[in-house]
Chains A and B, each alone.
Chain A
């Protein structure tokens, strides 16, 4: 307050300054809204059901959604360029079934894990080549990859493939207690959560601190302009699909480690969850604007929603998708409003 009176010509402070910043950086508005909604959901959950703002609830939120966070990061890259990757769920199915079967067949588990990731890379590279060099629509190219992945997984096995109890892969799902709270209220993480955190940090660095990352944004703004600016459009578009594929492979490792088994029907619809999380997190589906950290919040919003629905008990689980759809719709409408404001 005193600052205001002593420096009348200073920058506007408080709410006004925030409003001014927001009006200049409308791109951040949907992401800010996602954060607000996430906090709102936590507050509502705590008030209505209790035991939400607790170490073990929040730890479990991270543990159970680590794979979704990883997927969402990959999708964020693709969507920022204005593309889409529908193959990620199927890639998880194929990669995890193949990995578990190889381990059970006596392969070196670490080698098998590497292969799981590389399967994702191969799928991503194939999508990228189709999109960039054969000019196939990203939707169709990755849809083809989705059918391919799901089909390959079904050829390998149609029953759950259990991971051996002593498999080192399970160690990635081990719960590590960091802080021992009262009763069971502990801070717990798994190596999977750590992997997800590293992926998020690396993605943030790449997107905001490297030329490749900035080119991703420029392509999403306008591919033709990016080309006229002399940016490496072709290589960057290849990269985003490779990144998305590789991260699906990594998500397969993290998910299989937590669950201890793999099946050909794993991951059905996860690509849509990841797209929803990305959009809720403030990334424009048309590309060019968005934040990877927003996507993480988006993934956690979806995860938290499942927790709240379970806690409520009164909402039938079947209604989950309706609520997800509703939230998604609200965010898309918000983005349209933002775009309309910008055009003025």
Chain B
């Protein structure tokens, strides 16, 4: 095949957000009739690159050529008019409008009496039928649909303009296996009709299933572009996460070498701790210097148990002892006074205070513990901040910047620093590594390992089972709101051990569980085996 003329050529694209370079000289070329996968870890710059293509993100330098003509992208509407349609995630639709309206809005068929609703519904139904949604009533309100159907509606919305270039940003994360197949079939159909497709997905099998060509991004740079056929999975993964994989392996062996076995009085002991409708009564013990991982699907009770232990929710049964003394953890404040610190999974809503600076965020919990009558002096604050900035590798420039301007990884580190400043004996970390870049993940995981070495009892929760296995001395496995067992970690324990344990507890077919619950994050065989 002679090289066809590219539809989109992006070259040397550089983008900065408040001084931070998020894309650095990125090239991307899309050919008609080809599915091009854009790969990379969270924070690699995939979404930014899509934004640069559609004009929602300002480009600092570099050029974009559409069919050989240079032009500056100027917003979603203009891009659509030029034939570049983007499918955003299903949350970017309008919940109050009907299906037909969501598909057609901005492109409504109009007659002499304004918008011709009948024609709109017909057109929407036609496009929806191509996605296998023939039986969906275009008049039903969007809010009545499941996330999966909403996502397909978002795809239909992009197809309405008959695009030359279709950009799919994580289109499959809320779809089940059958729906994914439908979508991939449509994608192949469009490709065969000469549409250029940019496909972004976390699901590596889907990417290999559908992609003809891949571009791999890491830290805002292109680390490779090649035909999908020339690349195998292991190569791709190591490209995406780079040299850090060795560091992670080292951490794992280090943890195994220092394997800790509990002895003496537990730091925290809970018996029959539960709350009706949230968690069945659960017994748990945490010892000094131990990392205990909670493993389970979303909704298995892992977060609920953490919240009960951290005082974020009140238990209606059970008792908690700290170092042998009975305690009541009625609120996170009460828990902090008992030296139990909880880092919530909802970083932005319940963790950091976005409008405050990094300094203010870090000082907050310690100050609250001391009471307002004994303010921390500037000197004490500086000492505190210096300690944790160094320990957690936070850039010193960030001290007096509002936290909302910092990256997700830095925000997570600041939350961790705040909790560490209270010198907890028990530290509960709920998803501390979600959505942050690999460097920050590594920093946090190393810190967790060090803390345990210093005698803190750490609870570590992550939907990335690899992380749980890497860090934990002991793994508590939960399912359907109850604890189903505990594993002592060792060389023989892998992700599969836990998966089998959860699956074995299930009456049904484990394959089905993981095939359908793509968004639980536990579908490890399909997810990247990273971090």
Binding site for B on A (CB under 8 A): 24-27, 205, 208-211, 214-215, 217-218, 220-222, 224-232, 288-289, 342
Contact = CB atoms under 8 A, between A and B. Distances in A.
A229 B106 contact: yes
30 contacts: A24-B140, A24-B141, A24-B144, A26-B141, A205-B114, A209-B114, A209-B115, A210-B115, A214-B97, A214-B115, A215-B106, A217-B94, A217-B96, A221-B95, A221-B96, A222-B92, A224-B92, A225-B88, A226-B94, A228-B56, A228-B76, A228-B88, A228-B92, A229-B76, A229-B106, A229-B157, A230-B75, A231-B105, A288-B95, A289-B96
B437 interface: no
A230 B79 contact: yes
Centre residue among A208, A221, A342 by max chain B CB count within 10 A: A221
The B contact surface, by secondary structure, is mixed
Instruction: Kindly state the interface size class of chain B when it binds its partner.
Output: 20 to 34
B143 interface: yes
A288 B141 CA distance: 12
Contacts of A342: 143
A228 B93 CA distance: 9
Given A218-B94, A221-B97, A230-B78, 10 more contacts: A208-B114, A208-B115, A209-B113, A210-B115, A211-B106, A215-B106, A218-B97, A225-B88, A229-B106, A230-B80
A59 B95 CA distance: 39
Contacts, number: 78
Contacts of A224: 92
Contacts of B360: none
A27 B80 CA distance: 30
Most buried by B among A24, A210, A229: A229
A231 B93 contact: no
B143 A211 contact: no
B108 A214 contact: yes
Contacts of B92: 222, 224-225, 228-229
A205 B115 CA distance: 9
B405 to A, nearest CB: 17
B76 A27 contact: no
Nearest to A206: B114
Contacts of A215: 105-106
Contacts of B369: none
Nearest to B114: A209
B81 to A, nearest CB: 9
Interface string B64-94: 0000000000011111100000101001111
A21 to B, nearest CB: 10
B76 A218 contact: no
A258 B95 CA distance: 42
Contacts of A217: 94, 96-97
B228 to A, nearest CB: 29
B101 interface: yes
Contacts of B76: 227-230
Nearest to B108: A211
Contacts of B80: 230
Task: List 9 A-B pairs, minimum CB-CB distance, nearest first.
Answer: A209-B114, A230-B77, A230-B76, A221-B94, A288-B96, A225-B92, A289-B96, A218-B94, A228-B92
Contacts of B91: 225
B105 A229 contact: yes
Contacts of B93: 225, 229
B77 A232 contact: yes
Contacts of B78: 230
